[in-house]
Amino acid sequence: MPLVALIALLVVAYVHPRGRTEALVGIVAAGAALATGTLHWAGVRAELKHLLPVVIFLAAILVVAECCRAEGLFAAVGQRLAQVRWPLALTFAVAALTTIALSLDATVVLLTPVVVAAAAAARWSGRAGQLACVRLANSGSLLLPVSNLTNLLALPFLAISFGRFAVLMAPAWLVVVLIEYVVIRVWCRDRDVDPESGLDKLDHRGELDPLPLVPLAVVVLMLAAFAATSPLGVNPAWVAVVAAVALGVHGLVHRTETPVELVQSAHLSFGLFVLCLGLVVAVLSRAWLGDLVGHLVPSNDGLVALLLLAALGAVLANAVNNLPATLLLVPLVAPLGTTAVLATLIGINVGSSLTWTGSLANLLWRRTLVRAGVRPSSRDFHLVALIASPLGILAGVCVLAGWSALIT
């Protein structure tokens, strides 16, 4: 029954129906899994204690991202993307920063349509920029604990602070992002804008809207607060809630948002769905699936073992989605130490873009493109992933292993 419940949830994630349906299926699936009695009430309480802050963070950061959009931040960025000589390089930079600060959902849902509009305005294909959004939503989320729900789910199993996480992951993140850029640049060389071909358009630049300072300031302060409060044991969720409240009040006062829009932007039904997904996976992890995965986990943290863990993370992410993969694998890997958990996250995050269902971000990206009137290329999506993901995992884990040994 728990396996059937997980399959039902993955199908719902793929179809992505209305929020009420999503939440209802989640509740029914979680209830069916818990009815087996595999997870006792003490275990349920422990899982809820682990998952609730993650869901609260998700809702808060989605509100922050929506307020940034309403204030015109993404529109202003789109104007600049349409008037630069190197649109792909700027798109990569913006996508990386968006993923780092506002999490991967903001990159695929809010930045992707901006890239599509900028490409249309500048009359370049934009296919490379669209791919950059989905690739960096996953691969670019390695740097900070708050950039991806997978990182947040793993954070309680890491005896390190917010800042230490960033220090350990920074070199691997940089190498992975550079690999993504080179692969997309080469793959789209005949389809994307040639830097020299847009010079005539650059002579007719329109007036640019200023970047809105309030959302920028709040996001910067939010990131600083994440780092400052982490050593004090403050969960990132509460910092994100403060930022969401600040931007929400600002939006209400200046009438860029309504109360209904703020509540809708939190996507509470999706948060409930994630919570139910976590409970179903918790039941499975205490049954046969947890034992099966446990037998595949290496017994040491040498380089070969780290590469195996990353590969296992990538396979699980594409088999059952990146969130269940994290919930299943990270607790089993945690006894091997920090480097082993981080290597596992590299595999899960970078590898989750190999299939549509590997990450919810992939599905959201595809839906966002369709709504923007663009037909996403399944061929481009999968072939770029087949090149970039293995290279990124291999290079990222090797760099992480070397860097961790150097600074510890």
Structure confidence at residue 125 (pLDDT): 66
Structure confidence at residue 193 (pLDDT): 47
Give the angle subtended at the CA of 212 by the CAs of 208 and 213, to the nearest 5°. Answer: 130
pLDDT in tens, 66-116: 999 999 999 999 888 888 778 888 999 999 999 999 999 999 999 999 998
Structure confidence at residue 205 (pLDDT): 56
pLDDT in tens, 345-383: 999 999 999 999 899 899 889 989 988 888 888 999 999
Residue 37 predicted with pLDDT over 50: yes
Structure confidence at residue 311 (pLDDT): 97
Q: Assign 209 a pLDDT band (cuts: 50, 70, 90).
A: confident
DSSP string, 69-94: HHTTHHHHHHHHHTT-S-HHHHHHHH
Radius of gyration of the chain (CA): 21
Structural tokens at position 138: 């996953």
Contacts of 109 (CB under 8 A, 6+ apart): 65, 364, 368
Residue 258 predicted with pLDDT over 70: yes
Structure confidence at residue 262 (pLDDT): 94
Mean pLDDT of 236-242: 96
Structure confidence at residue 190 (pLDDT): 55
Residue with tokens 């860029």: 256
Q: Are 134 and 113 in contact (CB under 8 A)?
A: no
Structure confidence at residue 199 (pLDDT): 41
Q: What is the pTM of this model?
A: 0.91
Contacts of 303 (CB under 8 A, 6+ apart): 397, 398, 401
| Between 340 and 87, residue with greater pLDDT | 340
Task: Give percent above pLDDT 70 in the chain.
Answer: 95
